[in-house]
Amino acid sequence: MNQLKRDRQFRPLPVPSVELQGLFGDRQDAICDSTAETLLDRCVEAGMLQAIDVTQPSPGVVIPIGPWGGTTQMFWDSDLGKSIETVAYSLYRRSNPQLEARVDEIIDMYEKLQDKDGYLNAWFQRVQPDRRWTNLRDHHELYCAGHLIEGAVAYYQATGKKKLLDIMSRYADYLITVFGHGPGQIPGYCGHEEVELALVKLARVTGEKKYLDLSKFFIDERGTEPHFFTDEAARDGRSAADFHQKTYEYGQAHLPVREQKKVVGHAVRAMYLYAGMADIATEYNDDTLTAALETLWDDLTTKQMYVTGGIGPAASNEGFTDYYDLPNESAYAETCASVGLVFWANRMLGRGPNRRYADIMEQALYNGAMAGLSLDGTRFFYENPLESAGKHHRWIWHHCPCCPPNIARLLASVGSYMYAIAEDEIAVHLYGESKARFDLAGAKVELSQQTRYPWDGAIHFDLTLDRPALFALSLRIPEWAEGATLSVNGEKLDLQSAVVDGYARIERDWKSGDKVDLSIPLTARKLFANPLVRQDAGRTALMRGPLVYCVEETDNGEGLNGITLSADVSQAKISEIAGLRGAVALDLPVSRDTADWGASLYRTSPPAAKQANARFVPYPFWDNREPGEMLVWVRAGEARGE
Amino acid sequence: MNQLKRDRQFRPLPVPSVELQGLFGDRQDAICDSTAETLLDRCVEAGMLQAIDVTQPSPGVVIPIGPWGGTTQMFWDSDLGKSIETVAYSLYRRSNPQLEARVDEIIDMYEKLQDKDGYLNAWFQRVQPDRRWTNLRDHHELYCAGHLIEGAVAYYQATGKKKLLDIMSRYADYLITVFGHGPGQIPGYCGHEEVELALVKLARVTGEKKYLDLSKFFIDERGTEPHFFTDEAARDGRSAADFHQKTYEYGQAHLPVREQKKVVGHAVRAMYLYAGMADIATEYNDDTLTAALETLWDDLTTKQMYVTGGIGPAASNEGFTDYYDLPNESAYAETCASVGLVFWANRMLGRGPNRRYADIMEQALYNGAMAGLSLDGTRFFYENPLESAGKHHRWIWHHCPCCPPNIARLLASVGSYMYAIAEDEIAVHLYGESKARFDLAGAKVELSQQTRYPWDGAIHFDLTLDRPALFALSLRIPEWAEGATLSVNGEKLDLQSAVVDGYARIERDWKSGDKVDLSIPLTARKLFANPLVRQDAGRTALMRGPLVYCVEETDNGEGLNGITLSADVSQAKISEIAGLRGAVALDLPVSRDTADWGASLYRTSPPAAKQANARFVPYPFWDNREPGEMLVWVRAGEARGE
């Protein structure tokens, strides 16, 4: 055993190498059926094609466009980029020539739009051509480039068509000439991080290290003194103090990134930055970046994260506030922020499997992120509160449509988050019915995962190899999975000794026909929040496996805050919910405040309580039936007989 | 007994007829010591005197002014009017020639500013002279007139100086020519109610019924169709739909006032309207108005009022949202709104004493309103949340400085809210150490009230009369006052039979030397909220007498949501709090979540609890010591042995 070196560079399995069924397969079908086309339709309705089409007049600044209350925006390109990326992933799963033709048309427009020098940005070519590179702090200029790069990489991998990848490579080559410390170069970086992680994707698909170097440049420069944003404002004749959020913390540019200890500012920006940093840490084996990221990871996950993996409680800065400030009803917890947390967590696995990251990746993916898309794939949450008085529902679209394509591209590519590959190791980070193909250790390996996870914890793997091969198969044992068992070809392994960093690492000569059985007991469990989270005091949240549960009015009637849960939840009655794609409901005895209170608002005697049954359903599936109240943190009664 | 007719027109005793000691006297001393002068200083710093001074250049539109972040505002006159009113009341209590001279100077400026036709409005004379009477809906034009009228009445009563009263009478005479259904007249009313109640004050001090008639016109016209605001917008070339709140409910102009059943919109506007309606109901014995007001009263107090008497939970409209939506930490509950509720409640007593209104008047006065002024009279709350994580503190000033002079003028004139007089009846609505002088039933009556209320419930009255007289003395018995006793000259009365509408009505031939003793047991009591108030579910608030209690970090350390109160609060230990002017603290055994939780944010076992003592202090006095957390609704444990 342990003959192999522990290779510490893991990369996500490319999306086309994974076929999904089960829950994730169902989500991808919804995207193929509806979301992918919806995204393109809405982009058209919002005037984005007019914006990039050089044969049409410029759309102008700040005019209302489209039926969704949108206005012309500096970040059109990002919406188109993420939409292209989503369509690309959907094409992996299901061919759709019509959709593909629509994307080709958009790409042709971008080809015509691109400047001779390689520059490409709809806003700064079509609306404010004199403002190119004048305000990196506020204008999302490189952010747009990043999303188009991600779209280009995905579309090339999906279709083999290289046009957009070439366009974006030309643009990236131009960026390399523009940014740096040389004469006439800009020693800056974007206020909204994104291009950093995109350049890593471009480098990996093209094999060009120069793109990694540019990404590393942006990361290394961020927050250094003299401060680029301050100098830039002075050059542009602006007051450096007079801007939207009035603090460089908003874009994590208040300190050099390696000196940052606290997760601050705009949540999506923070996640994209940390994701890019983690990629660079992996690619350069940069321990200083990894050390900074570990500190930031703990800061986020032990002081600033909702139990759903939602992050960024405040609307005012779309981001972080104080430690332990996690209001439930007014939670912003933007879908994009949880998507970004999945990005970051996944990239923290680049230096080796570790459930410290993968458990949170799963929690954020299943709850804070996945909630963002309706079951039918047509509607989207922007905010993800943990309590609703009945008025919070998914949008058809949003005036700032960042979230719809973001959750769509994540779910459409989720296979690459499930499996990672190193030189001699396969890591299974997430479970779900699927087939994955790997090239490693000189063999072609197919790993077939048969399971009803997350509804049931029995997971069976069949391995098919074109020849026997020595490698490690690492399977995540979630921290919450008490009593998990593992066997290879029917022989039970001692999990205690097999587990490294929360992964059961099975290193052996694998051959075709090998079977692995993993059993993860999915016992419902109560969660309690640290007493410093004032909003959850005296309350409890229910989880089963990776899923957070909630109560909805459609099952339980109104007045959900009248519910008190004292029962031993491991005894919950389990059943499948009609109309929720086989999702598992948990039924439990509770006490409820009676409503026979009369006309008074306050009185000296407490409400009477009655015994009742309450149905808990998976949080990400809420608001897919009758609209109404929803609550995650129910009142906790004292345990009786537990 | 019951020889007297029950006169149903009660009017507040004029401010100069009451001398206060005790808690209210202390508040008035703080206003005389600090607040009155502070208000004038801040008005000067905010550029208001430049605004009204015709010898200086116009201040212009929307330029930042002063060190308090103020901008030029359409409602300068209202701030000056309320400040003059406050100074006037302070002069009743304590002569201050220097302060009086400053007000005289302001009045001289207004005299010079007034147009020949009587019009007077700093904004529309100095900044936008072409916009007079073009947008009553949004521009606070009559609102400003109202506050200057109130200031003029108070200043005349305080000093005998008539100049401002004459100025405002001329303006009101001009308004009578401007508004009406005659040719060339405007059939409208102000978007922000206020002038209605001010005109009643002007009528009462001048004896001129024409001002009542104008007030009644504004009230009767409000919300009728064809809608004035819609027609006005069309005349002015504006889209009627395109305005701040996009609903006439914002200013209670969505329906004729007699058809309004639900309290909606901007809370201060609503209270000022209802106060004006109640005055008109009293003056005209208008039962249709009273009936509408009774419906609105119930709507507010049984579905939309914080236990503090705070109202209007939302910042977005500074007003009302849904029934039973009473968030604690984000409560807007503007000081002005509770002040307005006191105004309305007091005027509901115009048709006879009734504790239905007086109990709420007391609750709002002592809690939601009085909290607005720091104990030293120098700082002000705008919002009054019922929970703070430690960052909510009183302001030195506010960019919209409506609240400081509003709470100051209320407290400075609170004697007139304590006592009301009818032809043959004195009503004592509120208790507190004081002397009040009445002319009624042909006699001069001095009522001396000796009490430590609200800290102690023993209340002793001495009556001094220049000749014996037959009248009724009505003393409020609060609904919460279980076990109250009453005696006249040592002889105990049967309260059951003496109480009418919650007032013990003692009708007799009173003579000098008569004594009345009222005992109101001030036993601490727990309040519970209707289960439909989701934010208070599982929680309890403590009251003693009219005061709501809270816990503060300075007494109890941090983590106030970790406190669970199960104890029998009637057994609370009572003591005086050093540094809080003799306020009574309540000490109680509680259980508290222990903080030894380690680094995790969520875990499967609940926090351990420990027994502890918690100190509860009066809510209106919070944030007068060390800054920190505050909480009104603590978690309620199950009663043990109660």
Q: Kindly write down the DSSP assignment for every residue of A21-44, as one continuous string.
A: -HHHHHHHHHIIIIIHHHHHHHHH
Task: Show the tokens assigned to A558.
Answer: 């109104």
CB contact under 8 A, B298 and A529: no
DSSP designation for B250: G
pLDDT given for residue A440 in this prediction: 94
pLDDT given for residue B578 in this prediction: 81
Contacts 24+ apart (CB under 8 A), A438-444: A438/A13, A438/A17, A440/A469, A440/A471, A441/A469, A441/A470, A441/A471, A442/A467, A442/A469, A443/A467, A443/A468, A443/A469, A443/A471
The predicted-structure confidence for B40-81, as pLDDT tens digits, reads as follows 999 988 888 988 999 988 877 655 555 555 556 888 999 999
* Rounded Cα distance, A137 and A186, in Å: 13
Evaluate whether B474 touches B425 at the Cβ level (below 8 Å): yes
* Rounded Cα distance, A125 and A119, in Å: 9
pLDDT at A407 over 80: yes
Cα distance from A593 to chain B (closest Cα, Å)?
Answer: 7
Question: Does the CB of B607 have a partner CB in chain A at under 8 Å?
Answer: yes
Q: What is the DSSP string of B169-204?
A: HHHHHHHHHHBSSSTT-B----SS--HHHHHHHHHH
> A288 Cβ partners below 8 Å, 6+ apart?
A258
Evaluate whether B549 touches B583 at the Cβ level (below 8 Å): no
Cα distance from A349 to chain B (closest Cα, Å)?
Answer: 21
Evaluate whether B372 touches B617 at the Cβ level (below 8 Å): no
Quote the mean pLDDT of chain B. 94
The predicted-structure confidence for B437-486, as pLDDT tens digits, reads as follows 999 999 999 999 999 999 999 999 999 999 999 999 999 999 999 999 99
Cα distance from B534 to chain A (closest Cα, Å)?
Answer: 6
Cα distance from A564 to chain B (closest Cα, Å)?
Answer: 9
pLDDT given for residue B245 in this prediction: 83
* Rounded Cα distance, B561 and B577, in Å: 23
Question: Does the CB of A323 have a partner CB in chain B at under 8 Å?
Answer: no
- The full 3-state SS of A169-234, as one line of letters, equals HHHHHHHHHHECCCCCCECCCCCCCCHHHHHHHHHHHHCCHHHHHHHHHHHHHCCCCCCHHHHHHH
A640 — pLDDT class (breaks 50, 70, 90): very low
Mean pLDDT of A104-125: 97
Evaluate whether A382 touches A396 at the Cβ level (below 8 Å): no
pLDDT at A95 over 50: yes
What pairing do the DSSP bridges indicate for beta strands A634-636 and A563-565? parallel
Nearest CA in chain A to B532: A559
Helix, coil or strand: residue B249: helix
Measuring CA to CA, which residue among A127, A1, A8 is closest to residue A420?
A8
Torsion from C-alpha of B197, B201, B204, B209, nearest 10 degrees: -50
pLDDT given for residue B68 in this prediction: 53
Evaluate whether A276 touches A329 at the Cβ level (below 8 Å): no
Measuring CA to CA, which residue among A158, A48, A144, A46 is closest to residue A100?
A158
pLDDT, greater one: A377 or B57: A377
Residues of A labelled as active-site residues: 318, 402
Evaluate whether B543 touches B555 at the Cβ level (below 8 Å): no
The predicted-structure confidence for B418-441, as pLDDT tens digits, reads as follows 999 999 999 999 999 999 999 999
CB contact under 8 A, B635 and A329: no
Contacts of B305 in chain A (CB under 8 A): 601
Measuring CA to CA, which residue among A242, A241, A134, A238 is closest to residue A188?
A134
Question: Does the CB of B531 have a partner CB in chain A at under 8 Å?
Answer: yes
Question: Does the CB of A530 have a partner CB in chain B at under 8 Å?
Answer: yes
A72 — pLDDT class (breaks 50, 70, 90): low
pLDDT given for residue B241 in this prediction: 84
Tell me the Ramachandran region of residue A14: left when phi exceeds 0, alpha when psi lies from -120 to 50, beta otherwise.
beta
Nearest CA in chain B to A604: B527
The predicted-structure confidence for B348-406, as pLDDT tens digits, reads as follows 999 999 999 999 999 999 999 999 999 999 999 999 999 999 999 999 877 778 899 99
Question: Does the CB of B604 have a partner CB in chain A at under 8 Å?
Answer: yes
How many DSSP H helices and E strands does chain A contain?
19, 26
Q: What is chain A's Cα-based Rg?
A: 25
- The full 3-state SS of B131-168, as one line of letters, equals HCCCCCCCCCHHHHHHHHHHHHHHHHHHHCCCHHHHHH
Q: Which residue(s) pair with B610 in the sheet?
A: B592
Contacts of A307 in chain B (CB under 8 A): 602
The predicted-structure confidence for A586-634, as pLDDT tens digits, reads as follows 999 999 999 788 889 999 999 999 999 999 999 999 999 999 999 999 9
pLDDT given for residue A639 in this prediction: 54
CB contact under 8 A, A389 and B534: yes
B328 alpha carbon, distance to own chain's centre: 20
Q: What is the DSSP string of B322-366?
A: STT---STT----HHHHHHHHHHHHHHGGGS--HHHHHHHHHIII
Q: How far is CA B430 from CA A198, A304, B524, in A?
A: 70, 48, 19
> A336 Cβ partners below 8 Å, 6+ apart?
A267, A268, A402, A403, A406, A407
Amino acid residing at B493: L
Helix, coil or strand: residue B538: coil
In A416-514 the beta strands, taken as DSSP E runs, fall at 419-422, 425-428, 434-440, 443-451, 458-465, 469-476, 485-488, 491-492, 499-500, 503-510
Annotated catalytic residue, options B190, B336, B402, B550? B402
Nearest CA in chain B to A544: B604
Amino acid residing at A51: A
Evaluate whether B506 touches B498 at the Cβ level (below 8 Å): yes
Q: Annotated catalytic, B318?
A: yes
Phi, psi torsion values for B573, nearest 5 degrees: -80, 130
pLDDT given for residue A58 in this prediction: 81
Query: Which of B303, B325, B561 is closest, CB to CB, to A537?
Result: B561
pLDDT given for residue A1 in this prediction: 35
Task: Show the tokens assigned to A289.
Answer: 């970046």
CB contact under 8 A, B528 and A322: no
Question: Does the CB of A483 have a partner CB in chain B at under 8 Å?
Answer: no
Contacts of B301 in chain A (CB under 8 A): 601
pLDDT given for residue A490 in this prediction: 97
Tell me which of A62-71, B312-321, B546-555 is least confident: A62-71
* Chain pair A-B, CB pairs under 8 angstroms: 119
Query: Which of A307, A325, A531 is closest, CB to CB, to B562?
Result: A531
* Rounded Cα distance, A144 and A84, in Å: 13
Cα distance from A353 to chain B (closest Cα, Å)?
Answer: 21
Evaluate whether B529 touches B539 at the Cβ level (below 8 Å): yes
A299 alpha carbon, distance to own chain's centre: 18
The predicted-structure confidence for B501-523, as pLDDT tens digits, reads as follows 999 999 999 999 999 999 999 99
Contacts of A561 in chain B (CB under 8 A): 531, 534-535, 537-538
pLDDT at B3 over 60: no
B window 178-237, beta carbon within 8 A of A: none
The predicted-structure confidence for B282-303, as pLDDT tens digits, reads as follows 999 999 999 999 999 999 999 9
Start-to-end Cα distance in chain B = 43
A63 alpha carbon, distance to own chain's centre: 31
Contacts of A636 in chain B (CB under 8 A): 606
Evaluate whether A405 touches A353 at the Cβ level (below 8 Å): no
Tell me which of A378-382, B61-65, B530-534 is least confident: B61-65
Angle between helices B76-93 and B403-412 (to 10 degrees): 30
Return the H-helix or E-strand segment holding B487.
strand B485-488
CB contact under 8 A, B528 and A604: yes
Quote the mean pLDDT of chain A. 94
Percent of chain A at pLDDT > 90 equals 88
Cα distance from A597 to chain B (closest Cα, Å)?
Answer: 6
Helix, coil or strand: residue B3: coil
Q: How far is CA B426 from CA B411, B501, B507, B514, in A?
A: 21, 15, 10, 15
Angle between helices A141-159 and A97-113 (to 10 degrees): 140
Which of B602, B605, B610 is the best mutation test for A, with the most CBs of A within 10 A? B602
pLDDT given for residue B69 in this prediction: 53
pLDDT at A157 over 60: yes
B window 541-560, beta carbon within 8 A of A: 541, 559-560
Q: How far is CA B616 from CA A216, B203, B550, B573, B583, in A?
A: 56, 45, 5, 10, 11
pLDDT given for residue A2 in this prediction: 40
pLDDT at A116 over 70: yes
Start-to-end Cα distance in chain A = 43
* Rounded Cα distance, A295 and A281, in Å: 14
CB contact under 8 A, B537 and A561: yes
Q: Cite the DSSP H helix spans in A46-194.
A: 48-52, 76-93, 97-113, 122-126, 141-159, 163-178
* Rounded Cα distance, A372 and A388, in Å: 15
Torsion from C-alpha of B84, B87, B93, B98, nearest 10 degrees: -120
Q: How far is CA A11 from CA A505, A585, B141, in A?
A: 17, 36, 67
Mean pLDDT of B609-636: 97
For chain B, give the number of residues. 642
Annotated catalytic residue, options B150, B249, B318, B507? B318
In B372-478 the beta strands, taken as DSSP E runs, fall at 387-388, 419-422, 425-428, 434-440, 443-451, 458-465, 469-476
> A64 Cβ partners below 8 Å, 6+ apart?
A70, A71
